[in-house]
Structure 1
Amino acid sequence: MRLFHCDQCGQLVFFESVHCVNCGAALAYLPDCDDVGAMAALDSDTPTPVPGPLWQRITSRAGSSGQRYRMCANRDQYQACNFAIPADAPHSLCSSCRQTLVLPDLSVSGNTLRWQKLESAKRRLYYTLARLGLHPDEPSWTPHYQFLADVPDQPVVTGHANGLITINIAEADDDERVRRRVALHEPYRTLLGHLRHESGHFFWDKLVRDGGELDSFRQLFGDERQSYPQSLQHYYANPPSYMQWSGQHVSAYASAHPWEDWAESWAHYLHMVDVLETAASYQTRMTMAEGSPSVSMGDPFVQPAPSFEDMVAQWVPVTLLLNSLNRSLGQQDAYPFALSAGALEKLRYVHEIVRRPHPLHSAPVHALAQSSEG
Structure 2
Amino acid sequence: MKYFECTSCHHQIYFMDYQCDHCHSHIGYVASEKYMGTFKIESDATWVAQNTSFKSTLFKPCRNYSLYQNCNWLIPADDDNVYCESCQLTHTILDLSQAENITYWSRLEMAKRRFLYLTQRLHIMPRPKKSDTDPYGLRFDFLMPNDDQPVLTGHANGIITLNASEADVVYREKTRENMGENYRTLLGHFRHESGHFYFNVMQYLHPELIEEFRLYFGDERLDYSEALQRHYNEGPPLNWQESYISTYATAHPWEDWAETWAHYLHMMETLETAYYAGISIQGNGTTLNQLNFEECPIGAKDFEATLQNWVTLTFNLNALNRSMGLADAYPFKLTDTVKDKLRFIHRHLLTFVFENNHPS
TM more than 0.5: yes
Q: Which residue of 2 aligns with 1:80?
A: 70
| 1:294, distance to aligned residue in structure 2 (A) | 4.2
1:327 is matched with: 322
Residue correspondence of structure 1 range 232-311 to structure 2 within 5 A: 232-240=228-236, 243-289=238-284, 294-297=290-293, 298-301=295-298, 305-311=300-306
- 222, 227, 240: which is aligned to 2:218? 222
Asked if 1:114 is matched to 2:109, the reply is: no
Rounded to whole Å, the distance in 1 between the matches of 2:78 and 2:99 is: 36
CA deviations 1:286-311 (Å, max 9, x no partner) are: 01205898422442236xx3322011
1:4 aligns with 2:17: no
Residue 123 in structure 1 maps to residue 113 in structure 2: yes
1:247 Cα shift?
A: 1.1
Alpha-carbon deviation of 1:136?
2.6
Post-superposition Cα deviations, 1:323-369, rounded to whole Å, max 9, x if no partner, equal 1121121111010001111111111111112134x563549xxxxxx
What's 1:135 paired with? 125
Secondary structure at the residue paired with 1:286? Answer: coil
Alignment partners' CA distance in 2, 1:230 and 1:174: 31
Give the drift of 1:142: 3.5
Letter in 1 for 2:157: N
Deviations 1:242-301 (A, max 9, x none): x43111111110000000000001000000000000101110010120589842244223
2:296 partner amino acid: D
Query: Judging changes above 3 Å, is the alpha-carbon distance between structure 1 residues 66 and 42 closer, same or farther for their aligned structure 2 residues?
Result: farther
Q: Distance in 1 between matches of 2:354 and 2:173?
A: 37
- 8 Å CA contact retained: 1:59, 1:65: no
Separation in 1, partners of 2:60, 2:10: 23
8 Å CA contact 2:195–2:258 kept in 1: the answer is: yes
Contact persistence 1:56–1:65 (CA under 8 A): no
Letter in 1 for 2:6: C
Contact 1:208 1:217 in 2 (8 A): no
Deviations 1:75-101 (A, max 9, x none): 122121100011111111101011010
**Cα RMSD (Å):** 2.0
SS in 2 for 1:246: helix
CA distance in 1, matches of 2:54, 2:36: 14
For 1:306 and 1:64, how far apart are their aligned partners in 2? Answer: 29
Matched, 1:360 2:354: yes
Residues 62 and 75, structure 2, Cα contact 8 Å, conserved in 1? yes
Contact 1:283 1:296 in 2 (8 A): no
Partner of 1:197: 192
State whether structure 2 residue 82 is matched by structure 1 residue 92: yes
Offset at 1:208? Answer: 3.7
Q: 1:259 to 1:294 in 2, by over 3 A?
A: closer
| Corresponding residue pairs, total | 349
Counterpart-to-counterpart distance in 2, 1:269 and 1:65: 32
Q: Could you tell me the TM-score, scaled by structure 2's length?
A: 0.92
Query: Measured at CA, do residues 57 and 160 of structure 1 come closer, stay the same or move farther in structure 2, by a change above 3 Å?
Result: same
Q: TM-score, normalised by structure 1?
A: 0.88
Structure 1 CA distance for aligned equivalents of residues 19 and 6 of structure 2: 9
Matches within 5 A, 1:25-64: 25-42=25-42, 52-59=44-51
Q: State which drifts further: 197-206 or 77-86.
A: 77-86
Per-residue Cα deviation, 1:88-132 (whole angstroms, up to 9, x for no partner): 111111010110100011112311100000000000111111110
1:160 corresponds, among 155, 176, 179, to 155
1:55 counterpart letter in structure 2: W
Taking a change above 3 Å as real, the CA distance of residues 55 and 252 of structure 1, as seen in their structure-2 partners, is same
Q: Which residue of 2 aligns with 1:368?
A: none
**How far apart, CA to CA, are the structure 2 residues paired with 1:134 and 1:22?**
34
Runs of 4+ in structure 1 off by over 6 angstroms are none
Give the distance between the partners of 2:41 and 2:226, measured in 1 at CA.
57
Between Structure 1 and Structure 2, the one with more helix by share is 2
The alpha-carbon distance between structure 1 residues 361 and 112, as it changes in their structure 2 partners (threshold 3 A), is closer
Residue identity opposite 1:100 in structure 2: T
Structure-2 separation of matches of 1:66 and 1:91? 16
> How many percent identity over aligned positions?
38
List alignment gaps of at least 5 residues for structure 2: none
Q: Residue by residue, what CA displacement relative to the aligned partner does 1:173-228 show, whole Å, maximum 9, x if unpaired?
A: 11111111111111100000000000000000002454212111112211111111
- Give SS of 1:143's match: strand
Partner of 1:46: none
Task: Determine whether 1:341 maps to 2:332.
Answer: no
More RCO (CA 8 Å, sep 6+): 1
Q: Which moved more, 1:138-147 or 1:68-77?
A: 138-147
Is residue 207–residue 353 contact of structure 1 (8 Å, CA) maintained in 2? no
